[in-house]
Amino acid sequence: MSEKIALIGAGAMGGAIGERLLATGNSLNVFDLDKARVDALVEKGAVAAASAAEASKDVDFVITSLNASRIVGLAAFGKDGIADGAKPGTLIIDMSSIEPDATRKFAKMASERELAWVDSPLSGGAPKALIGELTLMAGGESKDVERAHVALKHVASNYTHMGPSGAGQTTKMINQVLCGLGFMAVAEATQLALDAGVDAEKIPQALKGGRADSALLQEYLPRFATKDYRRTGRIDNMVKDLNMVNDLARQTGTSMPMTALCAEIHRMLTAAGLGGEDQAALMEFFQGAKEEIET
């Protein structure tokens, strides 16, 4: 069944979500400040909107895919935002990665405007979105989370209700701890393989099914080995997420030394001008260190 959906934010991730929603037969209104991003989805059948409010008219679901809680707040409740155009009962599904506290605030603001809110951050990146195999962790009222699945089933193969509003975002932080540390481990292992003269591209097959195997190993070790830096994510987005993790760890009194180090390395790469690059560009950190030793 075709759903009437609005998409606010059509960057690398939002664009992939929008493309998948269109490919599965849904009606899609799209708004993004970048006209080129909107045009790319319009070519695939989406309808362009001049504002978030316009995009949100006469739809049942509004999906947001944005980069920070401030931007989510403006898109949802600012001038010409979602709340200005959405009909009562519209369900806002925030697929951004933002702070749990901000999510709870937005959910309350939505309720006061007769709108519903579900936080449903994701794992899997644009490649998984395009084939409908995202992993989603949802927070919100049970009835709203169940209803959100009507739209999200088109983009996700794993959808879990984690608890009340903000629980999805907290789970995403845990995901980012594991991913951030995993990326670093795979990058280090790749550099060691290259320096030791082992055919690094054979390692994923050699370790497949063993305890060291993982989706990150299978996808990224070959990319690290060949410096395949095509963009499916951004290093500075990981900085944002790990900063949120460290803030939450301070609130909970949780000691996370490895995560703190991982965040610092990502900050160093961002300061070096690599923030907009894919995680595969972590190899530049190790190459830089090696070049310094050799010189």
Nearest 5°: CA angle at 168, between 167 and 171?
Answer: 85
Q: Which residues are catalytic?
A: 172
Q: For strand 27-31 and strand 4-8, is the pairing parallel, antiparallel, or unpaired?
A: parallel
Q: For strand 122-123 and strand 156-163, is the pairing parallel, antiparallel, or unpaired?
A: unpaired
d(CA 59, CA 114): 15
Task: Please give the single-letter amino acid code of residue 209.
Answer: G
Which of helix, strand or coil describes residue 124? coil
d(CA 256, CA 11): 31
d(CA 119, CA 213): 30
Token reading at 93:
């599904």
Q: Of all residues in the chain, what percent are helix, strand and coil, respectively (each to 5)?
A: 55, 15, 30
User: Which residues 6+ apart lie within 8 Å of 288 measured at CB?
Assistant: 272
Which of helix, strand or coil describes residue 231? coil
Q: Are 128 and 104 in contact (CB under 8 A)?
A: no
Token reading at 294:
């050799």
> Which one-letter DSSP state was computed for residue 164?
S
Q: For strand 116-119 and strand 122-123, is the pairing parallel, antiparallel, or unpaired?
A: unpaired
